[in-house]
C-alpha cells in the first residue's frame, strides 16, 4: 500500500535505523515508490547513502582492531569485530567479480571474503589457513551484497590451531558456508 | 662446477628443452653464473624468456579448448587441457598476491587458481562449484611459481556432479590440494 510522503518518510527513517544495510532498491520496493523518490526522501531526512552508513556502523561497532593483517587487506568491509570471538563483513558483488557469461559471482571471491574474515578475527600477528571445508549453497549474482559472519568455534591451547566457522548470506539466504582451520603463532586467549 | 661458455650454452639449451618452465634464476643457480649471463646466453641462443615459452607450450599442448568460461577468466596460464580428464596451469605469485607483512601468498589466490582450473576442465557450458575440501600444505612466497594439476576423478551420469582433484606444486613440493565437487548443466561424457 502506498503511503503519503510524511508517513513514508517516518517509516523510512524507522526502517533504516532498524536495518541500516538496506539498499535504496529494497526500500523502493518496500514502499512501492521509485528509487529516485527514496533518494530524495533520504536527502530531505539527511540520511546518508548505504556506503556511508556501512562506514559509520563500522566505526561505531569495531570493539577491536584487526591484528593479523592490515584492514585494507580484508576482502569486503569489516563492520564488526571482536577478536577471537566473531566478525562480520559486507562484500558487494560487482562486474569484476562475476563470470562474464552468466553474471554469477565467481566462487573464489566468496571464498576470499570468508577466508580473509577468518584471518582477521584471529587475535594474533600471524594467522594462516591450513584447511577448509566449504559449501556454495546458492548462486550469488552481480549487484547483490554478501554479509559474512565469522565465529571462532574452537581454540586449541596446545598447538594454537583455531577453528573459525563462516556463514555468508544474501538477505536471509545462506549462500556460502565454510569451516576454516587456522594456524597462529601464539595462543593469546586461555 | 663452472663450465666454459660453449659447454654452458649447450647444457643450457638441453636443460630448457627438457624443463621449459625453469626460471632464469634457477638456471643461474644451476650453472653458477649471474642471471645477466643466463639472459645473454638465451639472447645468443635465441631462446625466448620464460613467459614466452609458457605461451608457446600452451599453444602446442592444448588438445581441447576451455568450454565453461573464457580462457582469460582462468586464474593462471593454462598450459595443458583435456576436457573432462585433466588440466595444468601455472600461476606466478606476485606482490599483489601476498600478505604485505610476510610476503606469504594469500590463500584465496591459490584457491582461485585451483578452483578456476576445476571449472575449466569441465566439458560443459555451465560449471559451478558446489563444495570443496582444501588443504594448504606449505607456505608459498612471492616470486614462486605454482603449478596446478587438475584431474577429473568422477563424473556422475545421473545428476551431472563431477569431482575434480587439484594438486598444486612449487617445484616438487605440494603446496595446496583440493577436492572440488562441481555442478554442471549436462553430462557429455558417458
Maximum Cα interatomic distance, chain A, rounded to a whole number of Å: 63
Residue A101 has its nearest CB partner, among B69, B99, B129, at B69
Which ranges in B32-76 belong to alpha helices (H)? 35-45, 50-61
Query: What are the Cα distances from residue A68, in Å, to A48, A135, A164, B99, B120?
Result: 31, 25, 14, 10, 33
How many Cβ atoms sit within 10 Å of the Cβ of residue B43? 11
Give the total number of structural domains in chain A.
2
Average pLDDT value for residue range B151-172: 90
Residues 46-85 of A with CB under 8 A from B: 69-70, 73, 75
* Average pLDDT value for chain A: 88
Residue B27: inside a domain? yes
Question: What is chain A's alpha carbon radius of gyration, rounded to the nearest angstrom?
Answer: 19
User: Are B132 and A132 in contact (CB < 8 Å)?
Assistant: yes
CATH code for the domain of A20 = 1.10.10.10
Confirm whether B189 is domain-assigned. Answer: no
Residue B85 lies in a domain: yes
**What residue has cell string 586464474?**
B75
Instruction: Choose among B100, B106, B134: nearest Cβ to A132.
Output: B134
Is residue A100 included in any domain, yes or no?
yes
B111 contact A CB<8A: yes
Residue A78, beta-bridge partner list: A89
Mark whether B123 and B97 lie in a shared domain: yes
Residues B130, B38 share a domain: no
Q: Is the pLDDT of residue B122 over 90?
A: yes
Give yes or no: residues A33 and A69 share one domain.
no
Alpha-carbon distance A89 to A148, whole Å? 5
Whole-number Å distance between alpha carbons of B171 and B130: 30
Residues B85 and B174 in one domain: yes
Q: Does B103 touch chain A (CB under 8 A)?
A: no
Count CB neighbours of A1 within 10 A: 4
Contact flag A102-B126 (C-beta cutoff 8 Å): yes
Give yes or no for a contact between B81 and B66, defined as CB atoms under 8 angstroms apart: yes
3-state DSSP percent of chain A in helix, strand and coil, to 5: 35, 30, 35
**A to B CB pairs, distance under 8 Å:** 77
Is residue B76 within 8 A of residue B89, CB to CB? The reply is: yes
According to the model, what pLDDT value does residue A4 have? Answer: 87
Q: Output the CA torsion sign for B146, B149, B150, B153.
A: negative
Q: Read off the CATH number of the domain in which A67 is found.
A: 3.10.129.10
Residues A14 and A99 in one domain: no
Contacts with B126 from chain A: Cβ below 8 Å: 102
Confidence of residue B42 (pLDDT cuts 50, 70, 90): very high
- Quick one: which of B96, B93, B182, B108 has its CA closest to A148? B108
Asked if residue B150 and residue B65 are part of one domain, the reply reads: yes
Q: In what order do the strands lie in the sheet with A173-184?
A: A77-82, A86-92, A145-155, A162-170, A173-184, A127-136, B127-136, B173-184, B162-170, B145-155, B86-92, B77-82
The answer to whether the CB atoms of B139 and A128 lie below 8 A apart is yes
Domain that holds residue A15: 5-47
Do B92 and B159 share a structural domain? yes
Q: Please state, in angstroms and rounded to a whole number, the distance separating the CA atoms of residues B93 and A24.
A: 40
* Selected residues 1-30 of chain B with any CB under 8 Å from a CB in chain A: none
The pLDDT score that the predictor gives to residue A185 is 75
Q: How many CB atoms lie within 10 A of CB B173?
A: 11
Each residue of B13-24: pLDDT tens digit? 999 888 877 889
B73:A129 CB<8 A:
no
Q: Please name the residues in contact with B168: beta carbons below 8 A apart, sequence gap of 6 or more.
A: B110, B113, B114, B146, B147, B148, B149, B174, B175, B176, B177
For B104, the closest of A99, A108, A128 (CB atoms) is A128
Higher pLDDT, B67 or B89: B89
Q: Please state the separation of Cα B30 from the chain's center in Å.
A: 22
Rounded distance between C-alpha atoms, residue B150 and residue B83, angstroms: 11
A112 within some domain:
yes
**Inter-chain CB proximity B136 and A134 less than 8 Å:** no
- pLDDT, residue A89, reads 94
**Distance separating alpha carbons of residues B85 and A33, to the nearest angstrom:** 53
Enter the DSSP assignment of B141: B
* pLDDT (0 to 100) of residue A63: 66
Give the model's confidence band at B59: pLDDT under 50 very low, under 70 low, under 90 confident, else very high.
low
- Say how many C-beta atoms besides its own lie within 10 A of residue B10's C-beta: 12
Q: Measured between CB atoms, does B107 come within 8 Å of chain A?
A: yes
Same domain, B133 and B83: yes
Q: In chain B, what's the furthest Cα-to-Cα distance?
A: 63
| Residue B3: all three cell numbers together | 663450465
Q: Determine the Cα–Cα distance for residues A36 and B63; give it in Å rounded to an integer.
A: 53
Is the pLDDT confidence value at B188 over 60? no
B26 shares its domain with B101: no
Domain identity same for B90 and B137: yes
Enumerate residue ranges in chain A where pLDDT < 50.
Answer: 187-190
CA dist., res. A87 & res. A79, Å (int): 8
Cα pseudo-dihedral A23, A24, A25, A31, rounded to 10: 110
> Would strands A145-155 and A127-136 be described as parallel, antiparallel, or unpaired?
unpaired
Same domain, B17 and B110: no
Do B71 and B128 fall into the same domain? Answer: yes
Q: Distance between CA B139 and CA B157 in Å, rounded?
A: 37
Amino acid at each position: 500500500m502506498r503511503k503519503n510522503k510524511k508517513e513514508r518518510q517516518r517509516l523510512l527513517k524507522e526502517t533504516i535505523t532498524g536495518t541500516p544495510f538496506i539498499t535504496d532498491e529494497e526500500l523502493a520496493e518496500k514502499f512501492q515508490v521509485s528509487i529516485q523518490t527514496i533518494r530524495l526522501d533520504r536527502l530531505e531526512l539527511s540520511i546518508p547513502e548505504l556506503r556511508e552508513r556501512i562506514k559509520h556502523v563500522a566505526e561505531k561497532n569495531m570493539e577491536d582492531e584487526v591484528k593479523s593483517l592490515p584492514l585494507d587487506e580484508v576482502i569486503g568491509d569489516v563492520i564488526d569485530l571482536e577478536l577471537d570471538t566473531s566478525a562480520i563483513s559486507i562484500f558487494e558483488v560487482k562486474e569484476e567479480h562475476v563470470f562474464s557469461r552468466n553474471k554469477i559471482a565467481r566462487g573464489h571471491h566468496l571464498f576470499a571474503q570468508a577466508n580473509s574474515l577468518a584471518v582477521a578475527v584471529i587475535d594474533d600477528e600471524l594467522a594462516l589457513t591450513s584447511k577448509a571445508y566449504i559449501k556454495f549453497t546458492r548462486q550469488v549474482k552481480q549487484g547483490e551484497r554478501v554479509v559474512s559472519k565469522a565465529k571462532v568455534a574452537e581454540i586449541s591451547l596446545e598447538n594454537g590451531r583455531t577453528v573459525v566457522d563462516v556463514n555468508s548470506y544474501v538477505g536471509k539466504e545462506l549462500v556460502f558456508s565454510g569451516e576454516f582451520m587456522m594456524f597462529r603463532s601464539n595462543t593469546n586467549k586461555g
